[in-house]
Structure 1
């Protein structure tokens, strides 16, 4: 089944560097500025304990990481009050979720004996189609995946029980949050959806151990980047597995499909944590991913940055992608060939069915006619929803050509037969 192009509305965001704020955007910035936050570790802990009524965070080896995490955020002097509020709320959420998870495991220690059976793990560049592949595989009801509502509230809290008026309060909260975000930044739904049922990256579970590259997407935190890249991620990946075990206990089955672009730079520890996994590594012209990230960053900057600096993202993200891909090239062959499939974007767009058959064969899951029909129905529905597309203009918006952006990535093209996409 080929994914043929549809006629889509092109949305050209022409005020990336000099945004014209809507009344809602200006109001949200003013409201955040009126309620400043302070990134003190004890305040984070106190708020999490107050939210949950719990006090045991489990192993406390994450404290050093959290201190660097908070210090890096505080050093971002160009972060808007909205960014600081969002990051504070998010950090408290992670701490509160960790308290609930540790409490659940203390009451049900058998959780740690649950097998995470041969997961399918997708990794690929950010902004390169991994979300689409994850969503497609998740359409197979034989596989367990992580919808956004569950990713941000994995362990039910008191009051999350179904009621006659609300079958899933966690989902309701997630959908309300998404509607609020989409109202403030309406084009974000085209760039990166966060609706309640959107299938999430597993990064939300890694962050319960206060690691991952997550906060790099929300603030300018070179201190955190350098610290995270220098640290062994065995512990945070073990915590990811523990969270998957708890979610399996709460609502099986245990055959998971997960994804995170970060896995590309953590292949050794990923394999160590999930040695029986099927690894699906997607590949795309890095320039296609980088131009999408630069545009998304600058669109959100009207809310997240104090001042718009055209060079801020340009100086950070191409280099960040280079670091990620260098580790992927270095470590790729650590993965067993019999468990690994490299997927190329140009082949996927032309016809996903042969690739799906290879994924299912590696995972030893029968691709039945019924299952394939489910996947085709997902593709059709997904394409039907895509009635708009963001227009990219590297030279106009960022003063750089595709050829110039591509130069540092020649090592990647030398290693993998990636087709040049952006010219």
Structure 2
């Protein structure tokens, strides 16, 4: 998070206590149930007041806002922003549910002694399939001219072309200066694409069939059922994998690049890699070591030293035998231990 970098609206709405940011970070089922029944107009009124504060004494500009909350709160949103226009990005739910399950598992691991990835995914499928159902119902009440549809793979493949199509759809003019800034941003982020972490539904006890069934009306409407799943590539290299008697050891090297999206604001002038990002690297290493494993919890974790951007690190995983329910992990950089702990793991039969 930073003053001049993009940030989702969930953080801006959090002071009203009406934000799904809390559900992403903490497992409190009663809050989720309560939140899903609320009228979010007070949150959007606060949201609008805050944007007015940010824009005070500045020329009027178009605000481009993003948050998953907007999909299920359309009536509240439109009551505060009656002339809002919408860009709906489409991604196969198979990838989306694996991605959100991975993110929530990582976030909650920083605030909880035990996180069940299978529960996270099961609740994500139920929650977001209902959210998309609500959104489409409200969307159908708007004229087509207010909603532009675009696929995520189109944005990845040709980002500037995708932006042009959005501008053309709404009748906006894309200035040469704005396009040049966009191209510079895309070029600066090109190296970061390989740093996206890898995730798969099998890590969370789910399957493509289960997800596609839950999102069947949405997939059929927008032709998403046949889209291939995008396999994320890890930004790491395997050093060694060996077996010493009954003890298995796996090591992998990696680096968190300076343009990682979590680094702005953490901290200006002396950036360090957030602990949840380091844990994410550990979980990626686990899935790379044993694709048939499922993380069921993080028993212990100790952060002992900071990790800096561009600082090479080595993650070591060890287990006594393949059926062990525990995996010890340690992340080192320059002979210093950054973080160490123990994972609770379920090994699936191959």
The TM tier, using the shorter chain, reads 0.5 to 0.7
The aligned residue for residue 217 of structure 2 is 411
Deviation at 1:364, TM superposition (A): 4.6
| Secondary structure in structure 2 of the residue aligned to 1:421 | coil
Residue correspondences, number: 229
C-alpha distance in 1, partners of 2:200/2:145?
Answer: 41
Contact residue 10 and residue 21 of structure 2 kept, 8 A? yes
C-alpha distance in 2, partners of 1:149/1:252?
Answer: 22
Equivalent of residue 306 in structure 1, options 113, 129, 136: 113
| Secondary structure in structure 1 of the residue aligned to 2:196 | strand
Contact residue 86 and residue 148 of structure 2 kept, 8 A? yes
**Aligned CA distance change for structure 1 residues 381 and 325 (closer, same or farther; 3 Å):** same
Contact residue 25 and residue 108 of structure 2 kept, 8 A? no
**Aligned CA distance change for structure 1 residues 312 and 374 (closer, same or farther; 3 Å):** same
| Secondary structure in structure 2 of the residue aligned to 1:224 | helix
More strand by share: 2
**Aligned CA distance change for structure 1 residues 269 and 297 (closer, same or farther; 3 Å):** closer
C-alpha distance in 1, partners of 2:107/2:12?
Answer: 24
What residue ranges of structure 1 are gaps of 5+ in the alignment? 1-147, 151-196
Mapping of residues 14-163 of structure 1, within 5 Å: 148-150=1-3
The aligned residue for residue 208 of structure 2 is 402
For the aligned residue pairs, the C-alpha RMSD in angstroms reads 2.3
C-alpha distance in 2, partners of 1:300/1:231?
Answer: 24
**Aligned CA distance change for structure 1 residues 248 and 301 (closer, same or farther; 3 Å):** closer
- TM-score of the aligned structures, taking structure 2 as reference length: 0.59
The aligned residue for residue 76 of structure 1 is none
1:214 has 2:67 as partner: no
**Aligned CA distance change for structure 1 residues 304 and 356 (closer, same or farther; 3 Å):** same
C-alpha distance in 2, partners of 1:300/1:338?
Answer: 37
**Aligned CA distance change for structure 1 residues 400 and 203 (closer, same or farther; 3 Å):** closer
Equivalent of residue 279 in structure 1, options 86, 94, 116: 86
Mapping of residues 172-321 of structure 1, within 5 Å: 197-249=4-56, 253-321=60-128
C-alpha distance in 2, partners of 1:310/1:280?
Answer: 31
C-alpha distance in 2, partners of 1:225/1:301?
Answer: 14
1:341 has 2:194 as partner: no
More helix by share: 1
- TM-score of the aligned structures, taking structure 1 as reference length: 0.50
Deviation at 1:275, TM superposition (A): 2.0
**Aligned CA distance change for structure 1 residues 265 and 308 (closer, same or farther; 3 Å):** closer
